[in-house]
Copies of this chain bind each other. A is one copy, B any other.
């Protein structure tokens, strides 16, 4: 039901409907009553309805993120909120946690607030079983949906991401080029972007006709709060006889944990072990030696997400897929200047 439906049912012009909704008084009382009662029969208050029609938009955009205290997501929220505010929008933030049920509830809450658009920050919201993505498709029937670092093919859904697969492939290739063939791969998620990263690791081996040994692909069951556990996890792998001369990790904290293991064991980094993290977070510069890491251009992603969002809200035709490249940042845990060695 839109403004045209209302005007038809009430037998008045759309301009009159708009005047009623916006509370202007140049409308006959009887006409106003009629329009209001038709709107009310839909279970809306006039104002909420007006916002739903975009006539009297509250200029509000919903942001869903699993955990705004996660460093990467916190930065994403910061960049997105700032860019939206510059464009005259403000944002309602919900931290959904990692359960599908609470994610659906957050989406419903935002829809009930008649936000102009919903931004899903992070790939955690997308399920591999597409039937679990219906709550997103349903929302996309009403408002544009923006996905950061995720992918869904659907009308009114716009995806902005880093090519995590290519970036991880580049990091892995860098180590393979230095004859580091035993590369431990650490990851802690099976989300869309985590899956892409792992596929990049495998591709680097395949491209060189090398066998990718599954023993070297290790899932760590924990979060960034568990740094000490990561160190223990890597130590245990080494103690059990796994030999590795390289580590790539899907998140910086996993690489920091691996570096802890090396520092405590007195292993020379990068001479005997090279380590590369992912996200280029502040953690990379806390450690000694400082950690090399893949920068997935979060600020660029967020700025462009907001640009596309604003365009879509203005009715412009915007691209549904936008992909940027990651960049490998060399610090002291990768042998970046090999020629001088």
- List residues of A whose CB falls within 8 A of some B CB: 22-23, 25, 29-30, 32-33, 36-37, 40, 45-48, 56, 58, 60, 63, 67-69, 71, 74-75, 77-79, 81-82, 85, 90-95, 109, 113, 224-225, 227-228, 253, 256, 260, 263-264, 282-283, 285-288
Contacts and interface: CB of A to CB of B under 8 A. Distances in A.
A287 B285 contact: no
A56 B46 CA distance: 13
B58 A36 contact: no
Among A71, A93, A256, chain B packs the most CB atoms within 10 A around the CB of A93
A152 to B, nearest CB: 24
Contacts of A48: 47
Contacts of A93: 63, 77, 81, 91-93
Given A227-B282, A260-B288, A78 B82 contact: no
Contact of A288 (B78, B95, B263): B263
Nearest to A76: B69
Given A60-B92, A68-B78, A288-B288, 19 more contacts: A23-B45, A25-B37, A69-B74, A69-B77, A71-B74, A71-B282, A77-B93, A81-B93, A81-B95, A85-B94, A85-B95, A90-B94, A90-B109, A224-B282, A228-B285, A253-B286, A256-B286, A263-B288, A286-B287
A77 B68 contact: yes
A95 B283 CA distance: 23
Contacts of A37: 25
Nearest to A73: B74
Contacts of A68: 68, 74, 77-78, 81
Among A29, A48, A225, A286, chain B packs the most CB atoms within 10 A around the CB of A286
A282 B46 CA distance: 48
A264 to B, nearest CB: 7
A17 B79 CA distance: 43
A202 to B, nearest CB: 29
Nearest to A225: B282
B95 A92 contact: no
Contacts of A47: 45-48
Ranked nearest first, the 5 interchain pairs of A and B with the lowest CB-CB distance are A47-B47, A74-B74, A69-B78, A286-B286, A93-B93
A95 B10 CA distance: 44
Nearest to A29: B33
A56 B25 CA distance: 23
Contact of A30 (B29, B91, B288): B29
Given A29-B30, A283-B286, A286-B256, A67 B78 contact: yes
Contacts of A33: 29, 32
Contacts of A23: 36, 40, 45-46
A227 B284 CA distance: 10
A233 to B, nearest CB: 15
A228 B82 CA distance: 27
B58 A69 contact: no
B25 A40 contact: yes
Contacts of A95: 78, 81-82, 85
